[in-house]
Structures are given as structure tokens and as C-alpha cells.
Amino acid sequence: MPKSIFTDEYEIFRLLLIEARSSAGLTQVGLARKLGRPQSYVSKYERGERRLDVIEFLSISRAISIDPLELIRKLQRSINGRRRARST
């Protein structure tokens, strides 16, 4: 089994985070400032070079004012949709 950072599911997760940041009107620099981190931190997880743990994900969710559970629901719906599309 490959590491989850290289799966289609993790790719969807990354894209949802990027979309949420962008929808919040934040650049990587703006988000990094809110998190008290360098811009490279945001860049690395958005490009898939760095994995996020659940605590980091919750911090990012707060910083971009999204409901982390709703993002997980979107992730699950996207994953389920892809699986259904593959099985047909």
C-alpha cells in the first residue's frame, strides 16, 4: 500500500484545502502569517511535499474560517464519486 500522500484521496484533500484557502481570499503568504509559519510551510503541503497531521489541519481550518468536518464531508463525497465512476 502506498503512503497516503501519494494516493488519489490525498490529492483531493490537497485540492480542497487549496480551494478553501483561495475562497477565503487568502494567498499562501496571508495564510502563513495567520498560522505564524513561513510561506514555504503552506506551499509544501499544497504541493504534496509535506503531510499534514490532524492538529495542523485543524489549525489551518481555523485560520481560513472553514468547518473542518464539512471539508472532510466534501472529501468523502469526492472519493465516493470517483469510486463510483471507476466501477461503471
Q: Which domains does the chain have, with CATH numbers?
A: 4-87 (1.10.260.40)
How large is the average pLDDT for residues 34-48?
A: 97
Q: Which residue has the higher pLDDT, 7 or 75?
A: 75
- Which pLDDT band holds residue 87 (cuts at 50, 70, 90)? confident
pLDDT of residue 5: 62
pLDDT in tens, 46-56: 999 999 999 99
Report d(CA 83, CA 78) in Å as an integer: 9
Please tell me whether the overall predicted TM-score, pTM, comes out greater than 0.75 for this model.
yes
Using CA atoms, how far residue 70 sits from 1, 20, 21, 44, 58, in Å, is 27, 11, 14, 23, 12
